């Protein structure tokens, strides 16, 4: 039965991906990509990775879909079109891509046996942290450096997006509200956020012991904030506003400060002192969740479009 589900999922994923590539209409292709992201979440559940499934559905499906749909609406009719390739060129590219897929598939079929695993090492690192979710422990203790650098990458991407604002709107607010706000959007923006905020905070809190965590919670919070901004209930903040920048930089800054504290109080960079690991990790996660939420929402909102408030 599960085999049938797996085969159907794989067939749907491949079919949707092929449709996304072959479809002529941009909007249909992006909506198909959204569906692809949601189905992929089910695929991750089948791979016994519920944390990844939640991240994939929230970010890969939801946030990326919103970003692409907004881009499609903004670019409609004036996107850059390059000359289509000739049939022979496409065939050559298809052969090359098939060769790469074949190579990867061969690698998948001939994985080393017994499979190498870092699971026991990650579990050993789990005990001193007091966390129950091994994925969270890997993200914030065993391989915390990756997570720290990732936060910096998100901030760098945001700086890149903001720097694309024209000179006269630098420091101003992005424009996310459509010219005409549909009634259902306005209604949802009033009804959903209380639930969304509770779900987001729950996902952050439960992430220590069960599937969930900062990224998933941050994305849910970002979605709620975007909903409110898109319905025009609350205007997006000026990108130069100190409070916004404080929230954005606060998570990574606290993470970095605690990482350096490790030199004094523990064994070195990014080491947590004995007995304080869990409270410190939860503090970092709380600050990171807010930073992630603000950064993701601002990444979707795009560069400043209005002149800054005086």
Partner 1 sequence: MTAVLQPGVLFGLCGAVLVGIGLFAIATSPVLLRRIVGCNILGVGIFLVFGAVARRGGGAGLEADPVPQALVITGIVVAFSASALAVALLKRLSELSAGDRAGTAAPAEPRSVV
Taking CB under 8 A as the criterion, which residues in 33-62 touch partner 1?
33, 36, 40, 43-44, 46-49, 51-52, 55-56, 59-60
Distance CA 19, CA 26 (A): 11
User: Closest distance between partner 1 and the C-beta of residue 59, in Å?
Assistant: 5
Dihedral angle of Cα 158, 278, 121, 146, to the nearest 10 degrees: 10
Gap between the terminal Cα atoms of the chain: 63
- Cβ nearer to partner 1, comparing 78 with 310: 78
Find, among 171, 161, 159, 162, the residue nearest to 307 by Cα.
171
Distances (CA, A) of 156 to 153, 239, 295: 5, 14, 10
Considering only 161, 248, 259, 281, the residue that binds partner 1 (CB under 8 A) is 161
Which residue, 26 or 265, has its beta carbon nearer to partner 1?
26
- Specify the residue, 49 or 265, whose C-beta has the smaller distance to partner 1: 49
* DSSP conformation class of 164: T
Tokens matching residue 148: 């720290």
Q: Choose, by CB under 8 A, the member of 6, 31, 273, 283 that binds partner 1.
A: 6
Q: Is 285 in the site for partner 1 (CB under 8 A)?
A: no
Coil vs helix vs strand at 171: coil
Structure tokens at 23: 């479809």
Shortest distance, position 128 Cβ to partner 1, whole Å: 16
Among 7, 8, 198, 309, binds partner 1 (CB under 8 A): 7
Q: What tokens does 54 get? A: 């939640």
Q: Which residues pair with 174 in a beta bridge?
A: 304
Minimal distance in Å, beta carbon 177 to partner 1? 17
Q: Which two tokens stand for residue 41?
A: 């979440």
Tokens encoding 16: 């949707």
Q: Which of 130, 139, 200, 290 binds partner 1 (CB under 8 A)?
A: 139
**Binding-site member from 143, 177, 278, 306 for partner 1 (CB under 8 A):** 143
Site for partner 1 in 81-120 (CB under 8 A): 81-85, 89-90, 93-94, 96-98, 100-102, 104-105, 107-109, 111, 115-120
- The full length of the chain comes to 310
d(CA 89, CA 96): 11
**Choice from 35, 38, 122, 206 touching partner 1 (CB under 8 A):** 122
Lay out the site mask for partner 1 across 14-33 (x = CB under 8 A, - = otherwise). x--xx-xx----x--xx--x
Shortest distance in whole angstroms from residue 244 CB to partner 1: 17
Give me the 224-253 binding string for partner 1, x by CB under 8 A, dash otherwise. Answer: ------------------------------
**Consecutive H or E run containing 18:** helix 2-22
């Amino acid at each position: 039965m599960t085999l049938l589900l797996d085969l159907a999922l794989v067939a749907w994923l491949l079919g949707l991906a092929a449709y996304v590539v072959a479809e002529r209409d941009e909007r249909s292709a992006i909506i198909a990509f959204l569906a692809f992201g949601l189905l992929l979440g089910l695929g991750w559940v089948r791979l016994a990775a519920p944390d990844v499934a939640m991240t994939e559905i929230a970010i890969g499906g939801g946030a990326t879909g919103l970003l692409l749909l907004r881009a499609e609406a903004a670019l409609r009719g004036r996107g850059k079109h390059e000359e289509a390739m000739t049939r022979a060129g496409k065939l050559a590219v298809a052969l090359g891509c098939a060769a790469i897929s074949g190579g990867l598939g061969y690698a998948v079929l001939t994985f080393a046996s017994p499979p190498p695993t870092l699971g026991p090492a990650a579990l050993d690192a789990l005990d001193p942290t007091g966390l129950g979710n091994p994925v969270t422990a890997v993200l914030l203790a065993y391989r915390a450096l990756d997570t720290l650098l990732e936060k910096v990458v998100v901030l760098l991407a945001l700086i890149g997006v903001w720097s694309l604002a024209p000179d006269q709107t630098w420091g101003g607010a992005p424009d996310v509200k459509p010219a005409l706000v549909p009634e259902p959007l306005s209604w949802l923006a009033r009804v959903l956020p209380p639930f969304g905020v509770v779900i987001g905070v729950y996902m952050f809190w439960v992430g220590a012991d069960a599937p969930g965590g900062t990224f998933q919670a941050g994305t849910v919070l970002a979605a709620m904030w975007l909903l409110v901004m898109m319905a025009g209930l609350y205007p997006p903040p000026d990108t130069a506003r100190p409070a916004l920048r404080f929230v954005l930089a606060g998570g990574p800054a606290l993470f970095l400060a605690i990482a350096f504290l490790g030199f004094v109080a523990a064994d070195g960079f990014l080491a947590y002192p004995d007995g304080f690991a869990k409270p410190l990790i939860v503090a970092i996660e709380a600050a990171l969740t807010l930073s992630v939420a603000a950064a993701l929402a601002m990444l979707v909102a795009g560069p400043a479009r209005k002149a800054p408030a005086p």
